[in-house]
Amino acid sequence: MIRFDHVTKTYDPTARPALDAVDLEVARGEFVFLVGASGSGKSTFLRLVLKEEAATSGVVHVAGKELGRLSSWKVPHLRRQIGVVFQDFRLLPGKTVHQNVAFALQVVGRSRAAINATVPEVLELVGLDGKGGRLPHELSGGEQQRVAIARAVAGGPAILLADEPTGNLDPTTSLGITRLLETINGRGTTVVMATHDDDIVDSMRKRVVELVDGRVVRDERQGGYVTGTMPVVPPPVEADEDDDEGRGATA
């Protein structure tokens, strides 16, 4: 679904690359956490998937297309297959919840009948049944993020990219939002979530790809936020005074 072959992205030729020779494949239907310190290249990775930025070298494939060869007039079609969610929700403040979700479908040319059928379904999916008439400022942060997710998935994208979607939310709400992304993933959408949220990553036990200075330093199935976060720790060896060999003695 997403494949990076030796992808390097350099914004400023005098600085180190934002992405440095990244090889990574995300298969259809996977859920991947992209972790790494600020500036490690997570957002750049997502921007390359969306073709908001072009790779300096290497090849990016998304949904069966090689993005370097994709004509600019085909980019809207690519983006229709990708839903995006951000830390700051980015809702239209003057529009209701229903209108925010409907708007995403209007701009891709869906009929009014299709929109009126889809919006309530997708609001139910994200747990906002009955809140279609509210304005964004009448909702909690978690509810606003649910609207943003509803808007991102309303068109049935193959891929959902989430850039720090829990960055503005408390821990309980964050877990709820991530569980919602997991539900959406369970319906077949490939999910890539860039995050700094160690508790979320540790509790979900999904694939974890870690970037350091633009390089992939770890790609772990059912990983934690940090390498070996939950190791099987052997029981401490008791020091035994009668033991001539000094087994268990600390160095």
Ligand X SMILES: Nc1ncnc2c1ncn2[C@@H]1O[C@H](COP(=O)(O)OP(=O)(O)OP(=O)(O)O)[C@@H](O)[C@H]1O
Is 51 or 98 the residue whose CB approaches ligand X more closely? 51
Candidates 83, 86, 164, 87; CA nearest to 125 is: 83
- Region binding ligand X by CB under 6 A among candidate stretches 11-19, 118-126, 131-139, 225-233: 11-19
Neighbouring C-beta atoms of residue 157, cutoff 10 Å: 19
Residue 11 CB, shortest distance to ligand X, in Å, is: 3
Residue 49 CB, shortest distance to ligand X, in Å, is: 12
Q: Which of residues 26-55 bind ligand X (CB under 6 A)?
A: 36, 38-44
Q: How far apart are CA 215 and CA 16, in angstroms?
A: 11
12 binds ligand X (CB under 6 A): yes
Is 12 or 245 the residue whose CB approaches ligand X more closely? 12
Which SS3 state, helix, strand or coil, does residue 73 take?
Answer: helix
Residue 106 CB, shortest distance to ligand X, in Å, is: 30
Given candidates 18, 150, 161, 209, which one binds ligand X under the rule CB under 6 A? Answer: 18
Is 135 or 212 the residue whose CB approaches ligand X more closely? 212
Task: With beta carbons less than 8 A apart as the criterion, state whether 233 and 245 touch.
Answer: no
Residue 243 CB, shortest distance to ligand X, in Å, is: 50
Which SS3 state, helix, strand or coil, does residue 76 take?
Answer: helix
Which SS3 state, helix, strand or coil, does residue 246 take?
Answer: coil
> DSSP letters of 131-198?
-TT--GGGS-HHHHHHHHHHHHHTT--SEEEEESTTTTS-HHHHHHHHHHHHHHHHTT-EEEEEE--H
Spacing of C-alpha 111 from chain mean position: 29
Is 53 or 143 the residue whose CB approaches ligand X more closely? 53
Residue 51 CB, shortest distance to ligand X, in Å, is: 15
Is 175 or 212 the residue whose CB approaches ligand X more closely? 212
- The footprint of ligand X (CB under 6 A) covers 11-12, 18, 36, 38-44
